[in-house]
Each structure stands twice: as C-alpha cells, then as structure tokens.
Amino acid sequence: MRKKECWLPYLQCVLESRTVRDAARVVGVYRTTSFRWRHRFVPGAMRDRPARLTAIVEADETFRLESQKGSRNLNRKPRKRGGVARQRGVNKHHDCVLVARDRSGQTLDFHTGRGPVTAQQLHECLGPVLPPDVLLISDSAASYRSFAKRAGITHEVVNVKAGVRARGAIHIQNVNAWHSRFKGWLVRFRGVASRYLINYSGWQRMLDARRLTTPAHWLHAAAQLG
C-alpha cells in the first residue's frame, strides 16, 4: 500500500464506480495496483454495517452465474461471453446474494454460496440481526417459513410466483428494487469473479446508503474497520 498521495484520488474513483483500468488511468498507477487497492479499500469500508434491522424487514435473494474470471486454473470449460448454466432454474452453478432491508433503508447483504438459500443459512445470516419483535416479509420459499418458526418471529409471505406483488404494506418491492440497482450497476464491470462478489455487493450497499460521501470518509472507514 504505497503511493499514499494517490489514495484519495483513487477513492474518488471508487465513489464514481470507475472500472479498474479507468481508475488506474486517472490516478496514474498500474492496473494491478488499481485492482489490489479496490479489494483492500472496499472490504475495509463495507464492514460499516447496521448492527440490526428493525420493524418491517424485507428479505430476498438475487443470483449470479458463478464466475472464475481471472483464475488461471478453471475447473470447467471456459464460457463464451458469460455463457449460461448447464441446468434450468437456480442451481449449484449460481452464486446467491441474500439481501435484507428494512423500511428505513438500512440494508445488509450476505453471500451464502451456491444455489438456493437454506433455513440454516438464513439462521446464520439473519438470526443475529433481527430483533424478536420484527416483521419479516419474504417470498413463499419454504426456507423462510422454517427460519421464522425457529427464530420465533412474525413472518408474512408474498406469493410472487402466483402473481401477487403486494398486499397493502406487505411486499418485497424495496429489496427487489435494490437487486435491480445492483444488477444494473454491475454491468459496467463486464463480469465479476465469484470470490469477489460480496465485495461488489458491499460496495454498492455503501454507495446506496450514502454514508461515505467523500474520499476522506471512505479512507477513514477503511482504516478504522479494515
């Protein structure tokens, strides 16, 4: 982590969501340095997370086809232009990002691995951050019912597959809107390796929360929490 005089200009590039190559060009460092800084500054700052979500909490997953971008030793045949999964639907070839968001806008993201989220994974991720008096809203996946029953929290279901989008205040539109923003934001990077996916969801969460609005804020958070 040399060239301290470049850190703040580089973090301005992070705030602007610039690509590795573009940030390297703007700051005047090598592409490899730009990549290394991204995956040190972002993980440090993104640990600035809400300790708990409150009141009404929406939870849902979004999925990305697993990627071994940048790996020198693939354990499968290379894909062309991203490719498609070998099987239909969500399966072990998809990375799962679980997102929980309350109505005040506080958001938490978790990378639960490959395939659909399980009740045990929900217990490990959401159990510590949901108070007993919370109202959890999700889709009709059985894993959420099982988790809510085990945790002893109130749970409401929106049957999205049946075409039900909302029942008054019972909906998951806020968390789905976050998913949409995240996917649209990722396009500029032209593919993200699975091992770094949680860094990118954390990066987007920090930008979306608008808590760190200057390079100095970001540097302080990374230094304090990294």
Where in the chain are the domains? Answer: 4-48+211-225, 56-197
Under a CB-based contact definition with an 8 Å cutoff, are residues 133 and 105 in contact?
Answer: no
pLDDT in tens, 135-149: 999 988 899 999 999
pLDDT score recorded for residue 14: 92
Q: Is the pLDDT of residue 31 over 60?
A: yes
pLDDT in tens, 83-130: 555 666 566 778 899 999 999 999 999 999 888 899 999 999 999 999
pLDDT in tens, 154-176: 999 988 776 767 778 889 999 99
> In angstroms, rounded to a whole number, what is the distance separating the alpha carbons of residues 222 and 71?
27
Q: Across the chain, how many H-helices and E-strands are there? A: 8, 7
104 burial via Cβ count (<10 Å: 0-12, 13-18, 19+)? exposed
Q: What percentage of the chain reaches a pLDDT higher than 90?
A: 46
Where residue 70 falls (left for φ over 0; alpha for ψ -120 to 50; beta otherwise) is left
Structure-block tokens of residue 87: 């099987």
Structure-block tokens of residue 155: 């749970």
DSSP 111-126: EEEESS--HHHHHHHH
Under a CB-based contact definition with an 8 Å cutoff, are residues 178 and 107 in contact?
Answer: yes
pLDDT score recorded for residue 225: 52
**Span between the terminal Cα atoms of the chain, in Å:** 13
Beta strand residue intervals within the chain, DSSP E = 56-65, 94-102, 107-114, 135-138, 154-157, 166-167, 170-171
pLDDT score recorded for residue 132: 92
Q: Is the pLDDT of residue 66 over 80?
A: no
Q: How confident is the model at residue 210 (pLDDT cuts 50, 70, 90)?
A: confident
pLDDT in tens, 185-197: 988 888 788 888 8
DSSP 8-state symbol, 155: E
Q: Which residue has the tokens 């979004």?
A: 62
Amino acid at 61: E
Computed on alpha carbons and rounded to an integer, the radius of gyration of the chain in Å comes to: 19
Q: Is 212 helix (H, G, I), strand (E, B) or coil?
A: coil
The verdict on pTM exceeding 0.85 is no
CATH number attached to the domain at 56-197: 3.30.420.10
